[in-house]
Amino acid sequence: AQSVTQLGSHVSVSEGALVLLRCNYSSSVPPYLFWYVQYPNQGLQLLLKYTTGATLVKGINGFEAEFKKSETSFHLTKPSAHMSDAAEYFCAVRGARNQGGKLIFGQGTELSVKP
Amino acid sequence: EAGVAQSPRYKIIEKRQSVAFWCNPISGHATLYWYQQILGQGPKLLIQFQNNGVVDDSQLPKDRFSAERLKGVDSTLKIQPAKLEDSAVYLCASSHDKGYNEQFFGPGTRLTVL
């Protein structure tokens, strides 16, 4: 079965500092991994995804994530935080083919950015 | 292209009342998902449709929740009767295949059960 664990329900950084949001996964099949962002009172927006191929994935708004199979991790990073990055971030793994491709989400990490 | 539409955006009801949510997916998207997002948690899939057929409803509390997608386009999720623990945001998403590509999410309906 697939599962996702996000380490830290809340992360606070200063504007301009490195953003690091941690995600570890468990999957019985080669994983497809996703990071979504959710702004207040809005739906989820895809930041980036890993399916196959290059393990360093670049997404929107300057975010990137690296798939590390040996560590079963898919951490999200951004070199320099901006105030507009304050939001809830969700890591997700796609379920196995016989599960219809549903997304299994972590519990989320709320990112705060201090001026 | 227009995104996933949901209505209403907010709903407050008393426990034991019934409520219905509506979702209109992106045009041409065959797959439609309903997720429940309880405060402080990640979204959890309730039901997945492929056209008008159910692919996965294993986590849908069928004694009180029902969903339909009669013409393979828009969908309705109903709760009857509602319980306090049903307070959550209900997210609808769609994708143009079985979900191996991006799922596009609507803004959600925030339900408060008093």
Which of the four pLDDT bands, split at 50, 70 and 90, describes residue A28? confident
Q: Residue by residue, what is the 3-state secondary structure of A92-104? A: EEECCHHHCCCEE
- Name chain A contacts of B43, Cβ cutoff 8 Å: 44, 90, 103, 105
- Name chain A contacts of B91, Cβ cutoff 8 Å: 43-44
Q: What is the pLDDT of residues A64-73, one digit of tens each?
A: 999 999 999 9
Closest listed residue to residue A114, CA positions, set A81, A69, A65, A71: A81
Query: What are the angstrom distances between the C-alpha of B73 and each of A69, B1, B25?
Result: 38, 16, 7
Minimal-distance CA residue of chain B relative to A105: B42
Q: The tokens of A37 are what?
A: 């962002």
Residue B11 neighbours by CB distance under 10 Å: 18
Q: What is the pLDDT of residues B57-110, one digit of tens each?
A: 999 999 999 999 988 899 999 999 999 999 999 999 998 875 466 889 999 999
Contact: B45, A90; criterion CB under 8 Å: no
Residue A1 neighbours by CB distance under 10 Å: 9
Q: What is the pLDDT of residues A66-106, one digit of tens each?
A: 999 999 999 999 999 999 999 999 999 987 666 667 889 99
Q: Does A44 touch chain B (CB under 8 A)?
A: yes
